Amino acid sequence: MILTVTLNTALDITYRVRSLRPHTSHRVTDVTERPGGKGVNVARVLAALGHEVTVTGFAGGATGRVVQRQLTTTQGVLDALVPVTGATRRTIAVVDEHTGDTTQLNEPGPTVTPAEWSAFQDAYEDLVPSASAVALCGSLPPGVPVGAYAGLVRTAKAAGVPVLLDTSGESLRRGVAARPDIVKPNADELAELTGSHEPLRATQDARRRGARSVVASLGDEGLLAVTPEGRWRATPPTRVHGNPTGAGDSAVAGLLSGLVEQLPWPDRLARAVALSAATVMAPVAGEFDRGAYEELVGRVTVTGEVSAA
């Protein structure tokens, strides 16, 4: 079982309009709703790849009930969300069908009380020993300590369970210092963490700060990985157009599934890049175009070098 943690779960709502224009009314051509938040998206992709996944984090209010109800229909995903009194947030993605661009609106999430945070930590400690790997993903809702992910990393490592961290800002800075097995920042998050806008230098710096391996997401240019086994660059065979929401989460699912399947790094990276591109091509966040994935994965270019033993 793979455990994904989404402290700031969401109900992802996607609106499609023919053309998005400021200061005007729009007729929506299509609406979809899915359980969301980064770790939930990761879980859905992992399940589609054949892995059993448990989702934990927080859920509350009417929106939280919708998220949990929809999770029960997702094959391979087990709901272990912890209740809170506040309402789970919504995220709104507006897709312009003419340009393919997406405008994202993210609510902050419920305020978590100290008692609710303590209850989550107890639940997490119970779940971790049964996990083959843990993914800690996304933003922190109000009330959760900024060092939360650092503590969750240490709990997983104490249990001997590999852990991947995908967050930003001060949560990332503190979490990296707890020495996760993998961190997956995007280019902006990496620059904020290290102060460097040169990808290789910044990725190496992030690794020196404590992470065992760093996989930087460079958007259309693919992934850059610096690991104890070597360093690699993985690039997609072509630029894809569509809704980028959830593409980074699919990359995390590719990395995590490759980790538990003990794939070599080049194969993990090829899977992650292909899943990310196939997610951009899908209409809804947290899902991927399987046909596109199967066609792309063998065409991802992975270059690099293995570290000397």
Report the mean per-residue pLDDT for the chain: 91
Q: Above pLDDT 90, what percent of the chain?
A: 68
> Helix/strand/coil (H, E, C) string of the chain?
CEEEEECCCEEEEEEEECCCCCCCCCCEEEEEEEEECHHHHHHHHHHHCCCCEEEEEEECHHHHHHHHHHHCCCCCEEECCEECCCCCEEEEEEEECCCCCEEEEECCCCCCCHHHHHHHHHHHHHHHHHCCEEEEECCCCCCCCCCHHHHHHHHHHHCCCCEEEECCHHHHHHHHHCCCCEECCEHHHHHHHHCCCCHHHHHHHHHHCCCCEEEEECHHHCEEEEECCEEEEEECCCCCCCCCCCHHHHHHHHHHHHHHCCCCHHHHHHHHHHHHHHHHCCCCCCCCCHHHHHHHHHHCEEEEEECCC
Predicted confidence (pLDDT) per residue in 58-98, tens digit: 999 999 999 999 999 888 999 999 999 999 999 888 888 88
Residue 309 banded pLDDT, cuts 50, 70, 90? very low
Residue 308 banded pLDDT, cuts 50, 70, 90? low
Predicted confidence (pLDDT) per residue in 159-206, tens digit: 999 999 999 999 999 999 999 999 999 999 999 999 998 989 999 999
Q: Where in the sequence numbering do the catalytic residues fall?
A: 249
pLDDT beyond 80 at 307: no
Residue 14 banded pLDDT, cuts 50, 70, 90? confident
**This prediction's pTM:** 0.91
pLDDT of residue 289: 82
